[in-house]
Amino acid sequence: MSSHVAHHFDDASQQFDAARLGMWIFLATEVLFFGGLFTGYAYYRTLYTPAFIEGSRHLDLVLGTINTAVLLLSSFTIVLAIRGAQTDNRRATIALLAATIVLGTVFLAIKGYEYSVKFEEHHVPGASFSLGETHDEAVEPRHVEMFFALYFGMTGLHAVHMIIGVGVVAVVCVLAWRGHYTSQYYTPLEITGLYWHFVDVVWVFLFPLLYLIR
């Protein structure tokens, strides 16, 4: 019996199963947490379709696409990092976790740049919201504002999850460097991976819903 097994578990396998199931249940709650916003999106997109299309035109599709690719790549690096632990390849684990952190940070940086552009263009919902001169006159600016409210709500919540994710990956990276994880025990790595992939899955849906309606 490994020293990593807590007093109330019989063995490492039971502990691993418990941790993984716990994470999956947590992810189910996360689906519904984001789900409230997705419901709002479905609701108002149905009501204000042209305004949503208009709003989507104001987003930067190139940056959105790059960011999607960055996230998909980071999912690949973290899954390989776990594989590194499974095969007792500590160097690979550390390098790949570091790569994941870099990719996550790149994503957040690009997102931050997009936000700052939106600020300059007065696309942030609130008193100073404005669509500028170029918009289609048939749409009501207030409804485009609703699109941006949901855009900032959804991507903001996603970004908060990304920030937490980068932090958690950084912690497990340090622990991996200290040699905590072996093929016998890598539960924290596995559940960190689950979280990271989940955040990726959310983005996979956010990207077409926000950037690709036209």
Partner 1 sequence: MSEQIVPVKTYAGVLAALLVLLVATVAAGLIEGPGLGITTALSIATVKAVLIVLFFMHVRHGSPIVRLAAVAGFLWLALLIGLSMTDLLTRDGPPATDIPAGSAPDASLGANSSPTGPKMVEQLASFSPRNEASSQSLIATGTKIIDAAITTQGAADRGQARAVR
Partner 2 sequence: MNNVQLPKRHYLNADYNVWSWLLSTDHKRIGILYMISLTLFFFVGGAAAVLFRLELMTPGGDLVLSETYNKLFTLHGVIMVWFFLIPSVPTVLGNFFLPMMIGARDLAFPRLNLASWYLFVGGGLFTVWAMLTGGVDTGWTFYTPYSSTYANTRVMLTAIGVFVSGFSTILTGMNFIVTIHTMRAPGMTWFRLPLFVWAHYANSLIMVLATPVLAVTLLLIGMERVLGVGVFDPNLGGDPLLFQHLFWFYSHPAVYLMILPGMGVVSEVITCFARKGIFGYTFIAFSSLAIAVLGFLVWGHHMFVSGQSVLASLTFSFLSMLIAVPSAVKVFNWTATLHKGSISLDTPMLYALGFIGLFTMGGLTGLFLATLAVDQHVHDTYFVVAHFHYIMVGGMVMGYLAGIHFWWPKMTGRLYPEWWGRFSAVLIFFGFNLTFFPQYLLGYLGMPRRYHVYPDEFQVLNVMSTAGASILGVGYLIPLVYLIWSLRYGKIAGPNPWQATGLEWQTPSPPPTFNFDETPSVTERPYQYSPWTPQTAPPPEPELAAAETTSP
Partner 3 sequence: MDKSFRLFPEAASTAAPAVDRLYFFLLAVSSFFTLLICVAILYFAVKYRRSASFARSADYGSPWKLEVTWSLIPLALTMVMFFWGAVLYFRSHRAPPESAKVSVVGKQWMWKIQHAGGKQEINALHLPVGRPVQLTMISEDVIHSFYVPAFRLKQDVLPGSYTTLWFEPTKVGRFHLFCAEYCGTSHSDMIGEVVVMDPADYSEWLQGGPTESPVEAGRRLFEQFRCGNCHAAPVRPRCPPLDGLYGSQVALSGGEMVTADEAYLRESILNPQAKVVAGYQSVMPSYEGQIDEAGLFELIAYVKSLAPPEQSSDKKQSAPQ
Contact with partner 1 (CB under 8 A): which of 5, 19, 79, 108? 79
- Return d(Cα 13, Cα 1) in angstroms, integer: 10
Are 149 and 125 contacting, i.e. CB atoms less than 8 angstroms apart? yes
The binding track of 9-38 with respect to partner 2, each residue x by CB under 8 A or -, is x----x--xx--xx--xx-xxx-xxxxxx-
**Cβ atoms within 10 Å, residue 214:** 10
DSSP string, 3-26: TTS-TT-SSHHHHHHHHHHHHHHH
Residue 9 binds to partner 1 (criterion: CB under 8 A) = no
Could you tell me the CA-to-CA distances from 8 to 5, 22, 55, 124, 146 in Å, in that order? Answer: 8, 16, 53, 50, 50
Chain centre to alpha carbon of residue 26? 15
Binding piece for partner 2, criterion CB under 8 A, among 5-13, 78-86, 131-139, 197-205: 5-13
**Cβ atoms within 10 Å, residue 124:** 18
Q: What CA dihedral angle connects 168, 169, 170 and 174, to 10 degrees?
A: 110
Residue 8 interacts with, from partner 2, partner 3, partner 1, none (CB under 5-8 Å by kind): partner 2
Residue 42 binds to partner 1 (criterion: CB under 8 A) = yes
Residues that bind partner 2 (CB under 8 A): 6-9, 14, 17-18, 21-22, 25-26, 28-30, 32-37, 39-40, 43-44, 47-48, 125-127, 140, 142-143, 145-146, 149, 152-153, 157
Residues that bind partner 1 (CB under 8 A): 12-13, 16-17, 20-21, 24-25, 27-32, 35-36, 38-39, 42-43, 45-49, 53, 61, 65, 68-69, 72-73, 75-76, 79-80, 83, 86-87, 143, 183-186, 190, 193-194, 197-198, 200-201, 204-205, 207-209, 211-214
